[in-house]
Structures are given as C-alpha cells and as structure tokens.
A and B are shown apart, each in its own frame.
Chain A
Amino acid sequence: MLSAVRGVYAFLKNDKFAMVGAAIYVFFILLAILAPIIAPYGPDEMIRVDGRLAFNHPPSSQFWLGTTNMGRDVFSQLIFGVRPALMVGFTAAFFVVVAGTLVGLLSGYFGGWADSVLMRLADVAFGIPFEPFVIVLVGFLGPSVWNIVLAMALLLWRDTARVIRSQVLSVRQRAFVEAGEVSGASHLRVLFVYIMPNILPLSFLYGSLAVGWAILTEAAVSFLGFGDPNTISWGYMLHDAYVSQALSRGSFNWFVPPGIFIMLAVMAGFYIGRGSEEILHPKLKRV
C-alpha cells in the first residue's frame, strides 16, 4: 500500500501535467475546508443593502462576482460549491474504484465462469446510457446528492473493472506471481500480496478520472434541474442562472465562474489520468 502511494508520488513528480492536476485538487480541497472563512456571505443568504434586496448587482468590491437575481453572492456560492463537488467527486470515485478494482481483480485472476459472469455484467453496464440512467434513478429515488453518487457507483465501475482486469491478466503471467505459487501462497495471498500492489497505481489513476467525471455528471444533472434543491453546487448555479435568463441578460459574472471551476475540476482529473499510459507501459517513458 505504502509503495503504491510512493509510486503515485514518483509519477506525479515526473509528469508536469499530473502535477498541475494534483495542484488543482489540493487548491479545491483547501477552498472546501476554508470556505466559511473565505466566502464573505452564506451561499443562500439573501443579501440586503440599505434594506433593499441586492439582486443582479454587477461585480464590485462588495460583491466580487456580483449577485444573483435573488440577491445571493455569486462568489460565496462558487466557494461553497466546492464542497458538494468534491464530496460527490471523491465518494463516487471511491466506490467506483473499489468496486471496479475488486471486480477486475477477481475476474482477471480466477477467469472461468467468474470472469464470464462479471464481464457480462460489465457489458450490461456499458450498454446503459449514463446520464439518462442517472436522471431516471434520481427521478425514482428523489433528488439528492447521494442518489447521484449511487447512480454513478452503479455504472462507472465498468471502465475501471475492464482496465484492471486486463492489467491483472498480464501481471498474473509474470514470473514472480508463479514464484508465489511455487512458494505455496494461497489464492488470496497471490491476489492481494502479489498482484494488487502492482495494479493499485492504475486504480488510483482511474479514481482521479472518476472524480472529474462525477463532478461533471453532478453538474450536468443539476443543470438539467434534477439536482438536490437544498445543495448549492456549480451545476445548481448554472441551472439557476439559466432559468433566470442570466444568459440573455449577459450576466457573465454569474455563469462563467462555475463553468470555469467545473472545467478545472474535470481537467485536473484528466491531467492526472493522462499519465496512466506511462504507468501501463513504462517503456514509453520519456528519457
């Protein structure tokens, strides 16, 4: 486990893009923790100036990014929006990675009928269109952030499982795994002591991709109006801006910042993920 973390760190150190991606995540995590200190107002606080609702203010020293049509501070919403984004991103990624890695490991190592069953399940998951599925599930279970996470966990393990499985198939062939068998290691030991540490870096990378995906999905679902009405996320901000015709009024200060933050979050995931090629094929590594 520790060596896997070390592997990820070494990889980050060598890949400048991945470093940028990681830096963006660190920046977001700090924002999320410090949100109440940084944000001048509460995210759903209706601000009054001189007793009047401060709606549709342009950016100023008081409202850095202006206010919404309901008199809420856009900057504060943006900062507090990091929290649901990261929560959704990391929990979804966690479940996706754990489920995908386990399925990939079992399927790749044991082969036979276990492999057939699990991979046909993955085929089914691949067959279901992702965003419509999330919307339908949220429609059934009610609009909540956790239902969006659940929907993603139910579907997104498929990509990780496929990739992990093929990696397991190749690691399993390597002589040191056979050496473990000759030494008398049990199936579980071979699986978790020999094979898993060698595929964990890949799991982590797929996790980072999943973070970006999950944030994007939450934003999309919220934008379409199926999001959690009690949580102010970036997607909710976009939805809010859209239905109040901020676009036609040209209130760029309202809808551009959440767009940029969504883009940064997704980009960070992909920047980290793009290095996965090098971890899979170390020979491609630039010298």
Chain B
Amino acid sequence: MAERDLVVDVRGLKKYFRVRQTLFSKGYDSPWLKAVNGVSFQVSPGGTLGIAGESGCGKTTTGRMLLKLEDPTEGEYRFNGRDVTHVKRRELRQFRRQAQMVFQNPFEALNPRFTVYRSLLEPLLIHGIGSRPEQEQRINAAMERVGLKPPNTYYEKFPHQLSGGQLQRIVLARALIVDPIFIVADEPVSMLDVSVRAGVLNLMQEITASMQLATLYISHDLSLIQYLCDDTAIMYLGQIVEMGSTDAVLASPEHPYTQALVAAIPVLDPETEPPEVKIKGSVLSPIDLPEGCLFQNRCPYAERICRSEEPPLESKQSGRSVRCHVVN
C-alpha cells in the first residue's frame, strides 16, 4: 500500500517522562522514565493493529500519543498524510474529528451529569455539525448502529442508570458520531462482565470493518487481540519486540517474551497440563535501563551479545519482525 494511503504512520516514536525522585531534586537533573522507546508501525484504512503487553510496557502511552493527548519526545507521526507530530492544540480541529477513542472504563468515560443524548450531542456541538434536527438524526443513527434500539428510550437516561455493556455502546456511538477514520480502543472490554464482552467485541469488529476504520486495539489480553486484530505488535519496556500477522505471531511466537506470554494464558481445559513458562524474574525499571537487550535479565536463551548490544527489530520476508539476537 502506498504511503499516502496510510491513516497512521509512526516512526521512532518516543515518550520520556521526568521522574521526580525526591522532594528536593530539581527538575532538570532528575532521571528520565522511558515509557515509549522508539516504536514504528502503520495502520491502513480498515486495518486493525493490536498492541499487547503487560502493564507498564508503554502501550497506553503509545495510544495517547496517537490521539495527541500526549506529545512525543521524539519521532514522527503522520496522520492521514499530514505530519501532526508537533501540531498545536487549536490546529487539531480536523484531527479531533477523525481520531476517536473507546475508553477502558465505560462507567467513567461519560460525564455523570450529562444525559445520554447530551453526551452524544457534545461532539456535534463542539464541531458545529448540523442543525437541530440533523443532530437528532445523527444521534439516532449512531445509537441504532451500536444496537441501542429504540434510541429515544435512552435519551434522558444518566450513565448510572445503565449497565456496563450499554455504556460502552454509547461510548462507541459517541466515537462514531463524528465520522472518524481512526479509532483507538484501550482495553475496551476489560471492565465488562464476560457474558456481555462478546457483544461489544462483535459490534466493534462489525463496525470497524463496515466503515473501513483504521483501528488500534490496546490490550493485555492476547485472546482479545486474536479475536479482533489482523496484525499484532508485542511491546516490552517501551519497545516493540515482535510484530506480524496475528495468527502467525500467536501460533508460532518467535521472541522468547512472546513465547512466554502465549504460554502463560490459562488453559480452559482442566485435563490439559498448562505449558511451561520459561522466563523468570521481573521487568527492569524503565528509569535505569541497561545496555543491550531489555529482556536479557529474564531470557532463558540470553547470550553475551545480548548484554552488550541492543538487538534491532529485524523484518523478515514472512512479514514478521522480531527484536532478538538469538532468533535472527
């Protein structure tokens, strides 16, 4: 696909935060926390990319940078052919229509003092879209699209009167109402009960496919990524360690960390012995990172080179990229 057709194109995106360690340390000599440490990927219209990894791996910060809620420390972010890396807040009007978000906690994502109607009207008011009747039409259409029928029975409801599944549908409707081309969904169902999760997932899948949206799913849950995403990137300590088509990455993980992640997923069948998780120890502090591979302290296959030289994310012919000296 030609580059100009990409919705999201990030290269070498980094986000460092200053950490204030003690009360008296001055801002400029406090250490950096490397939350995101150089990630690159592309999402095309209709494409779904999943970013998976454990808490603290930088997946959420990456999502926030893509929505321009956070400015990158370094790197380049092209959105729909335009460089938006350093664009100011008030020049983002068009971007704010085109990039939308589905939040993790539907109980928090809607203003508790807004009715459902008011919540859905809000983006239309902000962007000055439509006359009154047109606005109502849009709201109706968005609500029907997310399966809340008939819409007017929900108009006057407040968030606390609705269930988690219904709220998440409204959050989705709010994202869709401005006709976006890109959606970031950060753990879209982790706060929902299992029995209603599937409904929301199926809905998102159907909508992003039919509207040809570029979608970025962020989740710690590989089974969810498997269910929704064409491509998967596994993040560890701010870096992508493996990326490729979801089916390939999950069926035959190559990076030792991905292997451990996949093996650690609980097995639903009690008769089957769960596979062994080979890695040990815990994640390094993102404040004080060593030379070489960031996974070296937990890797069962680590060699001398892993402690001295940082492995590059190497792309192979199969379309898979892996950041590992041993595998490559």
Residues of A at the B interface (CB closer than 8 Å) are 3-4, 174-176, 178-186, 189, 194, 197-198
Complex: A104 Cα to B122 Cα, angstroms: 25
Further contacts, 4 of them, CB under 8 A, given A179-B109, A184-B92, A184-B96: A179-B110, A180-B122, A182-B101, A185-B126
Using known A-B contacts A197-B113, A198-B112, determine if residue A179 contacts B96 with beta carbons closer than 8 Å.
Answer: no
Contacts of A180 in B (CB 8 A): 111, 122
By the criterion CB–CB under 8 Å, are A184 and B108 in contact?
Answer: no
Known contacts A176-B108, A176-B109, A176-B110, A183 near B103 by CB under 8 Å: no
B residues within 8 A CB of A198? Answer: 112-113
Contact (Cβ within 8 A) A182 B100: yes
Instruction: Say how far B246's CB is from chain A's closest CB, in angstroms.
Output: 26
Query: Given A183-B123, A184-B127, A175 and B105 touching (CB < 8 A)?
Result: yes
- Interface size of B by CB at 8 A reads 26
| Chain A residue with the shortest CB-CB distance to B171 | A179
Q: How far is the CB of B26 from chain A (nearest CB, A)?
A: 15
Dominant SS among interface residues on chain A: helix
Check B104–A175 contact: CB distance below 8 A: yes
Contact in complex: A184, B112 (CB < 8 Å)? no
- For A178, the chain B residues whose CB sits under 8 A away are 69, 101, 103
Closest Cβ neighbor of A183 among chain B residues: B123
CA separation between A188 and B178, bound complex, in Å? Answer: 21
Within 8 A of A (CB), among B155-199: 171, 174, 178
Instruction: Give the CA-CA distance A4 to B67 in the complex, in Å.
Output: 31
- A178 vs B112: C-alpha distance when bound (angstroms): 14
Question: Chain B: residues with CB nearer than 8 A to chain A?
Answer: 67, 69, 90, 92-93, 96-97, 99-101, 103-105, 108-113, 122-123, 126-127, 171, 174, 178
B95 to chain A, nearest CB (A): 8
Smallest CB separation, B314 vs chain A (Å): 35
B96's partner among A176, A183, A194, A197 (CB-CB below 8 A) is A183
Shortest A94–chain B CB gap in Å is 23
27 contacts between A and B (CB under 8 A): A3-B113, A174-B108, A175-B103, A175-B105, A175-B108, A175-B109, A176-B108, A176-B109, A176-B111, A176-B112, A179-B109, A179-B110, A179-B111, A180-B122, A182-B100, A182-B101, A183-B122, A183-B126, A183-B178, A184-B92, A184-B93, A184-B97, A184-B126, A184-B127, A185-B126, A186-B90, A198-B112
A72 to B24, CA, bound (A): 64
Question: Please, which residue of chain B has its CB at the minimum distance from the CB of A184?
Answer: B96
Contacts of A186 in B (CB 8 A): 90
**How many angstroms from the CA of A3 to the CA of B118 in the assembled complex?**
13
Cβ distance B63 to chain A, nearest Cβ, rounded Å: 11
Contacts of B69 in A (CB 8 A): 178, 181-182
Minimum C-beta distance from A109 to chain B (A):
14
A78 to chain B, nearest CB (A): 42
Task: Report the separation of the CA atoms of residues A186 and B127 in the bound assembly, to the nearest whole angstrom.
Answer: 11
A30 and B89 CA atoms in complex are apart in Å by 52
Give bound CA distance, A189 to B108, whole Å: 19
Could you tell me if B97 and A179 are in contact, using CB atoms closer than 8 angstroms? no
Once bound together, how far apart are the Cα atoms of A180 and B93, in whole Å?
13
In Å, the complex CA distance between A3 and B123 comes to: 21
- CB of B111 within 8 A of CB of A194, answer yes
Q: Are A182 and B67 in contact (CB under 8 A)?
A: yes
A181 to B109, CA, bound (A): 12
| CA A4 to CA B111, docked complex, whole Å | 13
Give the shortest distance, in Å, between A33 (CB) and chain B (any CB).
33
Q: Which residues on the A side are within 8 Å of B101 (C-beta)?
A: 178-179, 182
B99's closest neighbor in chain A, by CB? A182
Quote the shortest CB–CB distance from A190 to chain B (angstroms).
10
Residues of B within 8 A of A3 (CB): 113
Instruction: For the complex, give the distance between the alpha carbons of A182 and B100 in Å.
Output: 6
Which B-chain residue is minimally distant from A179 (CB atoms)? B109
A183→B124 CA distance, assembly (Å): 9
Nearest CB of A to B90, in Å: 8
Bound form: Cα–Cα A122–B218 in Å: 42
Min CB distance A282 to B, Å, is: 11
5 cross-chain pairs, A with B, having the tightest CB-CB distances, nearest first: A184-B96, A175-B108, A183-B123, A175-B109, A176-B111
Min Cβ gap A142→B in Å is 45
- In the complex, what residues of B have CB within 8 A of residue A189's CB? 126
Chain B's closest residue to A2 (CB) is: B113
User: In whole angstroms, how far apart are the Cα atoms of A174 and B110 in the complex?
Assistant: 9
Residue of B nearest to A194 (CB): B111
- Measured CA separation A189–B109 after assembly (Å): 17
Complex Cα gap A181–B309 (Å): 41
Residues of B within 8 A of A184 (CB): 92-93, 96-97, 123, 126-127
Complex: A189 Cα to B174 Cα, angstroms? 17
A175 — which chain B residues lie within 8 A by C-beta?
103-105, 108-109
User: CA of A178 to CA of B67 in the docked complex: distance in angstroms?
Assistant: 11
A178, chain B: closest CB distance, angstroms: 7
